[in-house]
């Protein structure tokens, strides 16, 4: 893999031929690769020369008709979305409703008109003047989530200015293009998704912006807030967007991923497999491996059911805490957990206790959870026991509605499992909840030294291969998402030990790192004795196909492939 470098926002001009990696905020799921398509807005006509009084009426009319045309266009997009009735459509429509209201708003339009009439500003400059006034007022707000709305308003205002210059035609892309732009409106983004964009890189935007919400809902890989994007990439250059790590690989850095595709991924350490002509096995419980879904931001939609997953293998609850000013209440959490548990019952819903992934999330977290540095996983108990208790109580309440399993992240000592177990038992008496299955993530290598004891203390184990591999081999997580996952011998051995410890104790062991979703490794993972996998639901079909191919070549199937121990 070519060595990329991370470009900082204030770097000088970059050599477009060299491979580079840009860092932004991952906002849409998955990996998207394709030729870059740069969307530049026309230079703004921001001349300061004052218009003659007799020309000002025409300028006001030009502003009004551009705003009205823009609004009508958004309305048409909303109408199409409502008719299509796709998942996420309701969300997009409500975003469009807000944007249309902003385009009619007196705080924007009347102020801009006043600048035209009073000072003879051009329509473009008048909108900018109105935006500047709004920026100052939004910047003075107290609540971060309300202050952040300014970015969406700014993007919308700039799009309106672009329309005044007549750049509506800029959205003509080819299917498979990775779109690079400064900003997009919701309407523009929807057009690009319909035109088949493979990925999106924006210079503006944050995790909580309208565009981010929509990318997640539409499943478009996206990285936002990449300051140098437009001057770092040239049209047609190959770009890969990793919406999970927030990285953008360009040119040589992306070429290494040129053959990265489910079907191109043969070989490595798995037995020879063929993906040709294999259907997806719908698989029933007890026959063959168990396939579960990971949940994060998308917990409200029924991906689990759509791709035939047997419940949830990993619910990253961090996403319930991000992008808000207050901690979620016990009721809110219980409601969320219950809804999914009910939907999946009797299959389990494995909820991972809040795992803060590091200081980089601070800006998105409620103030009560900031400044905890690298306080990973169950260590949070030392610093914020009340946050843990709220989550435990909510889980116990949700346990009445389905099969909730509690998974402890970043456990480094078996004692931590016992401490949480005792806490859970005490709270169970208070809220009158059912007994929940308790499991640990095997991701801190120290646990490998006490696997039998760990397996005795747990009802199930889940291997987190991302952290386990990185910590075991001393590699950073920085390139995660751009390298095809591999299975180094030490990691394979660690996983085999874990599987063996689970078998000996009669408890199930699952795998929920990125390795699980790599079809080229599915055979090797089955060879290690793993029989339970969890991954983004939409990736399940291709991995199941790889498992079928493996069972065809090894002659193992049915009961022989079945798990050693099963949670329904």
Partner 1 sequence: MSGTTAKRRVHVRNPMGMHARPAGRFVELARTFDARVRVRCRGEEVDGASILSLLMLEATAGTELELVAHGNDATAAIDALAALVASGFDEAQSYDGRGARG
Q: Select the span of 9-17, 212-220, 304-312, 487-495 touching partner 1 (CB under 8 A).
A: 212-220
Min CB(555)–partner 1 separation in Å: 37
Q: Which of 503, 544, 506, 538 is nearest to 522 (CA)?
A: 544
How many residues of this chain bind partner 1 (CB under 8 A)?
Answer: 65
Q: Is residue 154 involved in binding partner 1 (CB under 8 A)?
A: no
In whole angstroms, give the CA distance from residue 2 to residue 4: 6
Q: What are phi and psi of 281, to 5 degrees?
A: -75, 125
Please say which residue, 26 or 485, places its beta carbon nearer to partner 1. 26
The one among 7, 19, 21, 26 contacting partner 1 by CB under 8 A: 26
Q: Is residue 399 involved in binding partner 1 (CB under 8 A)?
A: no
Please say which residue, 150 or 497, places its beta carbon nearer to partner 1. 150
Please say which residue, 7 or 91, places its beta carbon nearer to partner 1. 91
Q: Is residue 340 involved in binding partner 1 (CB under 8 A)?
A: no
Whats the size of the chain, residue-wise? 568
Q: Is residue 106 involved in binding partner 1 (CB under 8 A)?
A: yes
What angle separates helix 186-194 from helix 89-104, to the nearest 10 degrees? 140
Q: Select the span of 285-293, 316-324, 400-408, 519-527 touching partner 1 (CB under 8 A).
A: 316-324
CA Rg value for the chain? 26
Q: Is residue 387 involved in binding partner 1 (CB under 8 A)?
A: no
In whole angstroms, give the CA distance from residue 36 to residue 173: 10
The one among 225, 246, 469, 502 contacting partner 1 by CB under 8 A: 246
State the Cα angle at 40 between 166 and 174, rounded to 5°: 95
The one among 87, 119, 319, 345 contacting partner 1 by CB under 8 A: 319
User: 73: alpha, beta or left, given left = phi > 0 and alpha = psi -120 to 50?
Assistant: alpha
Distance, CA of 234 to chain centre: 26
Residue in this structure with the two tokens 């991923």, named with its chain if needed: 257
The one among 78, 197, 207, 290 contacting partner 1 by CB under 8 A: 207
In whole angstroms, give the CA distance from residue 387 to residue 369: 9
Judge whether 55 and 227 are in contact, CB under 8 Å. Answer: no
The one among 33, 38, 91, 250 contacting partner 1 by CB under 8 A: 91
Q: Is residue 212 involved in binding partner 1 (CB under 8 A)?
A: yes
Q: DSSP code of 429?
A: H
The one among 112, 213, 507, 509 contacting partner 1 by CB under 8 A: 213
The one among 208, 232, 465, 510 contacting partner 1 by CB under 8 A: 208
Min CB(387)–partner 1 separation in Å: 16
Q: DSSP code of 481?
A: T
Q: Which residues, 351 to 370, sit near partner 1 by CB under 8 A?
A: 357, 364
The one among 135, 168, 255, 296 contacting partner 1 by CB under 8 A: 296
Say if residue 346 is preceded by a cis peptide, omega within 30 of 0: yes
Q: Select the span of 1-9, 38-46, 205-213, 453-461 touching partner 1 (CB under 8 A).
A: 205-213
Q: Is residue 205 involved in binding partner 1 (CB under 8 A)?
A: no
Number of C-beta neighbours around residue 360 at 10 A: 9
The one among 16, 35, 60, 145 contacting partner 1 by CB under 8 A: 145
Please say which residue, 45 or 326, places its beta carbon nearer to partner 1. 326
Q: Is residue 30 involved in binding partner 1 (CB under 8 A)?
A: yes
What string of DSSP letters covers 275-315? -TT-------TTSS-EEEEEESTTTTS-HHHHTT--SEEEE
Q: Select the span of 115-123, 131-139, 276-284, 491-499 touching partner 1 (CB under 8 A).
A: 131-139
Residue in this structure with the two tokens 């690009």, named with its chain if needed: 192
The one among 320, 380, 404, 408 contacting partner 1 by CB under 8 A: 320
Q: Which of 282, 279, 92, 276 is nearest to 188 (CA)?
A: 92
Please say which residue, 411 or 535, places its beta carbon nearer to partner 1. 535
Helix (H/G/I), strand (E/B), else coil: 511: strand
Please say which residue, 117 or 149, places its beta carbon nearer to partner 1. 149
Q: Select the span of 56-64, 99-107, 175-183, 258-266 touching partner 1 (CB under 8 A).
A: 99-107
What angle separates helix 144-164 from helix 53-84, to the nearest 10 degrees? 110
Q: Which residues, 446 to 475, sit near partner 1 by CB under 8 A?
A: 466
Q: Is residue 297 involved in binding partner 1 (CB under 8 A)?
A: yes
**How do 290-295 and 25-28 pair as beta strands?**
unpaired
Q: Is residue 136 involved in binding partner 1 (CB under 8 A)?
A: no
Number of C-beta neighbours around residue 396 at 10 A: 25
In whole angstroms, give the CA distance from residue 349 to residue 338: 10
Distance, CA of 42 to chain centre: 32
Helix (H/G/I), strand (E/B), else coil: 179: strand
In whole angstroms, give the CA distance from residue 438 to residue 420: 9
Please say which residue, 372 or 524, places its beta carbon nearer to partner 1. 372
Q: Is residue 146 involved in binding partner 1 (CB under 8 A)?
A: yes
Q: Provide the binding-site residues for partner 1, judged by CB under 8 A.
A: 25-30, 90-91, 94-95, 97-102, 105-108, 134, 137-138, 141-143, 145-146, 149, 152-153, 207-208, 210, 212-213, 215-217, 222, 243-246, 296-300, 316, 318-320, 322-326, 328-329, 332, 357, 364, 466, 536
């Amino acid at each position: 893999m070519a060595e990329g470098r991370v470009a900082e926002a204030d770097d000088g001009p970059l050599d477009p031929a060299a491979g580079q990696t840009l860092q932004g905020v991952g906002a849409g799921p998955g990996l998207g690769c394709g030729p870059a398509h740069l969307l530049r807005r026309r230079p703004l006509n921001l001349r300061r020369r004052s218009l003659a009084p007799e020309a000002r009426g025409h300028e006001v009319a030009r502003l009004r008709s551009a705003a009205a045309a823009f609004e009508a266009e958004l309305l048409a997009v909303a109408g199409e979305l409502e008719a299509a009735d796709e998942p996420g459509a309701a969300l997009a429509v409500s975003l469009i409703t807000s944007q249309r209201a902003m385009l009619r708003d007196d705080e924007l339009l009347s102020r801009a008109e006043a600048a035209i009439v009073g000072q003879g500003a051009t329509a473009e400059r008048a909108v900018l003047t109105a935006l500047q006034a709004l920026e100052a007022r939004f910047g003075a707000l107290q609540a971060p989530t309300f202050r952040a709305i300014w970015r969406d308003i700014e993007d919308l205002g700039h799009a309106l200015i672009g329309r005044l210059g007549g750049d509506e035609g800029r959205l003509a892309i080819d299917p498979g293009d990775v779109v690079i732009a400064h900003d997009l409106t919701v309407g523009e983004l929807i057009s690009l998704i319909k035109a088949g964009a493979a990925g999106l890189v924006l210079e503006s935007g944050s995790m909580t912006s309208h565009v981010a919400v929509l990318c997640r809902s539409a499943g478009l890989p996206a990285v936002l807030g990449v300051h140098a994007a437009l001057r770092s990439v040239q049209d047609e250059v190959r770009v890969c967007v990793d919406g999970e790590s927030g990285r953008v690989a360009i040119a040589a850095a992306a070429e290494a991923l040129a053959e990265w595709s489910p079907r191109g991924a043969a070989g490595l350490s798995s037995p020879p497999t063929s993906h040709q002509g294999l259907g997806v096995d719908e698989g029933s419980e007890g026959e063959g491996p168990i396939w579960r879904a990971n949940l994060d931001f998308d917990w409200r939609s029924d991906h689990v059911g759509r791709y035939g997953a047997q419940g949830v293998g990993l619910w990253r609850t961090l996403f319930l805490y991000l992008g808000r000013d207050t901690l979620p209440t016990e009721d809110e959490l219980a409601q969320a957990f219950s809804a999914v548990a009910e939907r999946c019952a009797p299959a389990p819903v494995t909820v991972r206790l809040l795992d803060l992934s590091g200081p980089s999330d601070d800006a998105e977290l409620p103030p009560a959870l900031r400044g905890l540095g690298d306080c990973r996983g169950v260590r949070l108990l030392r610093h914020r026991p009340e946050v843990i208790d709220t989550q435990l109580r909510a889980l116990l309440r949700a346990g009445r509605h389905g099969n909730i399993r509690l998974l402890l992240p970043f456990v480094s000592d078996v004692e931590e499992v016992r401490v949480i177990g005792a806490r859970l038992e005490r709270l169970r008496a208070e809220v009158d909840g059912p007994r929940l299955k308790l499991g640990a993530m095997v991701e801190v290598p120290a646990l490998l030294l006490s696997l039998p004891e760990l397996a005795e203390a747990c009802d199930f184990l889940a291997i987190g291969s991302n952290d386990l591999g990185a910590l075991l081999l001393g590699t950073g997580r920085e390139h995660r998402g751009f390298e095809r996952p591999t299975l180094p011998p030490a990691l394979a051995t660690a996983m085999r030990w874990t599987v063996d410890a689970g078998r000996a104790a009669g408890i199930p062991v699952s795998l929920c790192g990125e390795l699980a979703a790599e079809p080229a490794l599915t055979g090797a993972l089955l060879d290690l004795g793993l029989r339970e996998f969890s991954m983004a639901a939409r990736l399940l079909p291709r991995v199941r196909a790889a498992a079928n191919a493996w069972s065809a070549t090894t002659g193992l199937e049915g009961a022989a492939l079945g798990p050693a121990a099963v949670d329904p």
